[in-house]
Structure 1
């Protein structure tokens, strides 16, 4: 049981009525950690040796954050405050500020080597920003521990270019001298740090910096996107995500062509015609932006690494933003597979299987419906593999015209065919040398080309078109398809020998309607949206809307869900609560048509137009369960819904049903 001081401290804070919902949640978490408001904080500080090790593990973050912290200190000098940098766990790595306030802060261990996670220090801006993954202010008595209530803290999470949390920047001062502009300064500083990390991560890429107004180019307001030389999307900073209106997770499904409406060669032609001035580009949301473009050749790589043999074509000179900085040891990079494990047992099983074959030269075949995240899994496998330092090259076999896919894969020599580029071109297979080749929609690869691919897998050599020389290649292969390759073999549309070369490990990603972690997935997608640009509350979904989401069949899977959430997020009010009135009408049309189709397939005879949607759903589920002899899994598959939806809608019917049947 909690002691009286703990109870009184908690109730006093809540009854005051000025705690925000996120701070109230943080107080509740503090209670569950067993903390007492009157207790002495955890002042366990790392030794110098332990701190040096942590600084080495986070040296890239520190290298980019320290200069920004110094600039910020000049802006807030003589304000009885300090600036703190932590790692992703809340461990303070570095702090600077006014000397007299630093001495006061040391009394509560607000110094390098101390951990300010919520479970150690209760509700505080650093720990709560990590827990909520959003910018957080904790002012005076809002701190859970009484010892920290002389402080006011403004903390902003720092994300790496992959969207993962790597640290927190915090400005802490005396609660009597709090200024509202402090959070704005902290956010601007974090944006600078993130842009520096972005430039360091994607040094050898095609980068486009853009904004709707030319005067904002070269400022913190510009959006920055990075692509491979063939136009595959790599990443985008927060400003780019905000301007495009897509979270980073959704942008990974795009390319240069789908985002800006032009290919890499067309972009080069546009640059050459600009005569050194910025160019205008059309975003896929209809916005016209001004842009500067950089092509930067990789340090190691021969002719043809960039289209047309360009080494550095662009309208922006190389600046400090693109200067190389030593990378952190690969061993410290966060696991991408871990980030995909959001609690669904099927996904956890897939990840567990994949981990067992990492680095063992076993090809992986990913199956599943369109939009279930196959390329995201392939990228995560590469990032967690021993080949993570090498390239990850993705080829969508369904999106390349049949007459071009051979030259795209194998490359070609100069003059190999009419229209071939001068000096030829390096194919995807050789671009992936030393890394991973991801062949998406492998079932759409032309049958004659499958023979050539089989030879590459068997002999590990590539024969570019028009060349008399075979080039050795060292690649890991990951393939994906939504098709049934075994059926295609029977139909003579897919080679059996190639199939058995590709399916070393076969894993299946479940469709969204069969996943049990929908709420977690939606929460993460909302968190990844650049909503903090508007100072609004974090987006959250009401329980009745979440119930509707769980009823939806989501035939478009993550693409459909992402588009719906972006549309709804644009409609929410200042409270950040996503309600039924924010959902587009076609979503309800999809729900009704899905229920009608389910009812007809189950043999229901109710007059659908005059029956409430809930009744139609219940009737359809009851009929489907009956038709499948009580097999809930089979009934759910027939209706295109999850087992959880069946149990929720018909609890009495399913009490004695077999949840798996013969599955």
Structure 2
């Protein structure tokens, strides 16, 4: 019988696929070859996974989120190393059996040289996101598949793995590759942030609404202004190759002296400035730096973790500039807010842990900063950790630190961790309700014994710090459900206060004036809003609270540059639409129940669930748009979606 090769005429295939088929033939593969049923043995696979520990730790939470979006579509999500060997997978149970028939499982190499043209192998060869559908596969056996794959790069552009969605050909959808590409970029951004946790990071984009999203540019700089690395979005915006950027400095790339940006980040935390790229394009940017970044605390090459701890303590300036948020800053005339400040003020300067409750975006971190700045610890560090934004696999290392060699992928000389960075000052644990149980136990031990043992270490490091925690969750209900430890709850709840939602506050005009004053970076930006805008603001429901209002004002101020005041024409269209559909004055359904959250289980969660449902429906299921509107992290919305599917 005549051998039937799978390669159609080259003119019938896209150039990428035709070229890949030619490569498959050139290495001697035959289209009729049977799948390779000899994956790595378990010890060898475990060793390979351990060598790729950092990649797996950052990728697995994203894979879970991606799988939640394609569940029940006869598909699976796969992660490979840089050579195309499958490390992990999530899949529909009824498709996994079919996938196993073609060796689409952990420990098997899907490199192009082993499996011919396929999305994983071809994407890794070309370094580009790739779709290979049905008959485009080189091997006959793989034609039951439709696959979409995107390479994953480290902050220096080196390919370290690939993310793939493979499924039944009948379930092919042209949008799958977009989901895979965005998920791969999300992994890269998390890797970037973790690898450059101890230096200066710049978040920027030409459009203000993209700051804090997947599409923002990320660039890392040494304290002396030297460029270190950038993510894909930043490289695209710079329009220059990485090698060229590595010869340049912050002023050359952004047209501003680095100390000026850091001064702005210090005195106006979280606020953006306008910078100019070498191309002349103006971007909105936000700078951030780790505690001690301006006085680098990296130990010499022959010294270890303990030296790093001593160094960070020794190099702290005696009078570091405090971020100037105080009780007076926050007291803008609302009686509910004033009552909160009076209660907290009574324990000022005392080592009593404070638990701040309230909906997302109500200003919990601002209150924590005010507590720190109005205390004897004001000259020591204020270190904030968002427990909801860190994958479970990273929060332990981020909080408690680790020794050199504690795990594969760990930074040389280790990391001191946020708890040690906060020594002498205040540690703010935002969204404490999202902390995994295992880390709750370790945190409880730190609070009891006032020392911390880093991962991989044996010596306890004494720490002196004040704890302020915050959450939008009902911790008492979580204790009953077994997801939050009661001993930790009573340790962090020395004094509990609840911040009012923006829709419940009576000081809207004063808040607007204060926010505009903080955001003004030039005389061209208006200092006030029109009466029509104020009236529209008073009608808004503000589901994202202060964070949402700050974002709306930031965008409007940019649009109104050169005008006397911000008018309706300067407000975002989607915000105006929401206001038009809102009641005359929104009263939060949780206004009464938030006050009694400690005795009525579940009401805060119920309010958020209803709000997310409504907003998702209004945005046709678009998670990014929903997160922006509510002022939430996308992970929070994704977590809600996963929980909804399991109930």
**TM-score normalized with structure 2 length:** 0.48
**TM-score normalized with structure 1 length:** 0.47
* More contact order relative to length (CA 8 Å, sep ≥ 6): 2
